[in-house]
Amino acid sequence: MSFKIASSPHQHNQLSTAQIMRLVAFACLPGIAVQAVLFGYGVIIQLLLAIVTAWCSEALVLKLRNKPILPRLKDNSALLTAVLLAIAIPPYAPWWIIVIGTAFAIIMVKQLYGGLGNNLFNPAMAAYVLLLISFPLQMTQWLPPLSLQSVSLTPADAVCAVFSQYSCSGFSLTQLQSSIDGITMATPLDTLRTDLSRGLTLDESLTKPVFFAFAGAGWLWVNLAYLLGGLLLIQQKIISWRIPVAVLASLFVLSSIASLAAPDTMAGPLFHLFSGGTMLAAFFIATDPVSASTTNRGRLIYGALIGVLVFLIRNFGGYPDAYAFAVLLANMAVPLIDYYTRPRTYGHRTRSER
């Protein structure tokens, strides 16, 4: 008999790593479908580009490292990284944005550290931060939902927009960002931040068409779809409930307190929970089994830390959504969190008992 020690991710169910990664990718499908319906065919094009780039990058590095290629590609970790990055960037970002980001995620963040199980940071979020800092203009050019767009795009228009930044009819991306009334639109989080910096009150900003009910137009349904997929992962015991619950609970509590203290300038908890990439980050990104905390208490602390950081960055930082930065900062704290929350070994005393 031999005792085999394997690197993370470790799961208590009987599924293989490939099956787990595939199920997580499948759980993203409701959110991807809603994004494509509400924001256009660019979502699908970015997904295809990301997946092809991820597979090619993974195969190239494995070849250089003299590692078996097909078995590593079949673990679906590169596929999942590509999916998470592709749905996080604007659907009509230039094609080279997703190619650079995906290659960086696979080559630099994953394979440079030894491959799956050895990366310190979430590859998709590390790549997202690289793109956001390096190409802020391209990474913030989100189009409004289709119901508010002045020009409807066909699949051919979507391909032209991704590869040339113009539709087949000659409309530029700036023109495509204009709503039906001719106003150039940004994401709900960015719109709210800009309006508050200009002296508008929260109620005045929320009257704009980019907002719907208590959240952003379109983003409410996107978040509900990812919430559905996340609940499926919890039900199948693919992810622990502790991280997403801690993320959402801490964000809910802080935003509730802030909105009560400053109702004219601080958005309420429902706005924060159902705008931007909240549900995607809470259920699919923060729960990465490699870069997240591994102890039960540690997962609660780790998730709560992400929620706190998101609240602080959204309200006082320079980036509207903030989840990528919050996840990476929390990844840095994981070794410390795990060290102080690891369960006591039977027969050993804790620090407080010494």
Is the per-residue pLDDT at 166 higher than 80?
Answer: yes
pLDDT at 197 over 60: yes
* Average pLDDT score, the chain: 88
What percent of the chain is modeled with pLDDT above 70? Answer: 90
Closest CA to 80 of 44, 62, 61, 54: 54
* Side-chain half-sphere exposure of 345, counting CA atoms within 13 A: 2
Residues 6 or more apart whose Cβ sits within 8 Å of residue 294: 8, 10, 338
- Enter the tokens of residue 10: 């470790």
Distances (CA, A) of 263 to 17, 105, 188: 46, 40, 18
Strand, coil or helix: what is 158?
helix
Selection from 322, 311, 194 nearest residue 249 by Cα: 311
Neighbours of 162 (CB within 10 A): 22
Q: Which two tokens stand for residue 95?
A: 């094609």
Average pLDDT over residues 251-269: 93
What's phi and psi for 116, nearest 5 deg?
-55, 130
Find out whether 90 and 111 touch, Cβ atoms under 8 Å: no
Is residue 243 within 8 Å of residue 297, measured between CB atoms? no
| CA-atom Rg of the chain in angstroms | 21
How sure is the predictor about 8, in pLDDT bands with cuts at 50, 70 and 90?
low
The predicted pLDDT at position 218 comes to 84
DSSP, res 184? B
pLDDT at 79: 94
| Packed helices 17-27 and 77-86: angle between N→C axes, nearest 10 degrees | 20
Q: Which two tokens stand for residue 56?
A: 């090619």
Contact 24, 238 (CB under 8 A): yes
